[in-house]
Amino acid sequence: MRRVIAAFSVAVVVGAGLIGTATATSFPETITLPGATSAEGIANGIGSSFFAGDLFKGDIYRGDLRSGSAALFRDAPDGRMALGLKVDIRDNLLFVAGGFTGQAYVYDARTGDDVAVLQLAEPTAGAIINDVIVAGGAAWFTDSAHPHLYRVPIGADGSIGAPSMLVVSGPAADLTGAFNMNGIVATPNAKTLIVAHSADGALYTVNPVSGASAAIAGANVPNVDGILLEAGRLWAVQNLNNQVTELRLSPDLSSATVERVITNSAFEVPTTIARDGSRLAVVNAKFDTGFPPTATSFEVVTFDRR
């Protein structure tokens, strides 16, 4: 009997070890975007699916953060760009910031078909439409070259309305850098927006009605790019620093405390961030090779957020 018990115990331990190993290796650490010539934005889709963009070609890729699959989803027309992305899950809409084109694109997140092409700012104005968030029945886009946010209303039926511009005042309106307002998130009630300011290395709250902004004290994040907000925590991607900083925000959003700094040997100028359960995902822009980048492959990097 003791031999049976001992054998059973060994089997359980070995089995547990095998299960632990399988769990630890069940999620891919990197996911290559096949054929991409550049990269910048990433956004969650339904479940563990994600979308990522080819910055300079405007193409959109769709993949799965758990299986590690990725394939071309939308071969964009010539002249488009793809920076920040966000999915409106309710209406199956994919919003894409169009960078130096001054445009925003809305795709059907199921088929990749065009839903709308929006000219948020004239290309001659030098706008850089950089990132987007969906909140409060609208998509909000940042402009890294001007103190402007652009609001695109989303109807109850998923229809896209005419865009409007909000002029930002206060510290977030600073234009001292080549890239200023960048990443954007919103509180769950959509009453406050938070923007990442790359030149200032700071985070600012913005009133979506008045445009007034205020600094979040303690949020010192040089080279900040994309940001992610969830349950009072904010993750800030610091591209040239090759790190992601996790901050705990005060309830009134006036201050932040650094909880940890995440580094990863696979980071190569990460720019934007998405989440799948307990894991986070960033996309490598590889701007260390040039702008446009000269790297031959681009990938998504996933890692544990805890």
Q: pTM for this one?
A: 0.92
Sequence ranges of the domains in the chain: 29-304
**pLDDT 10s digit of each residue in the chain, 306 long?**
444 444 434 344 444 444 443 344 578 999 999 999 999 999 999 999 999 999 999 999 999 999 999 999 999 999 999 999 999 999 999 999 999 999 999 999 999 999 999 999 988 899 999 999 999 999 999 999 999 999 999 999 999 999 999 999 999 999 999 999 999 999 999 999 999 999 999 999 999 999 999 999 999 999 999 999 999 999 999 999 999 999 999 999 999 999 999 999 999 999 999 999 999 999 999 999 999 999 999 999 999 987
Secondary structure class of 3 (helix, strand, coil): helix
Question: Which secondary-structure segment (H or E) carries 228?
Answer: strand 224-230
- The CATH class of the 29-304 domain is mainly beta
Secondary structure class of 223 (helix, strand, coil): coil
Residue the block writes with tokens 């939308």? 74
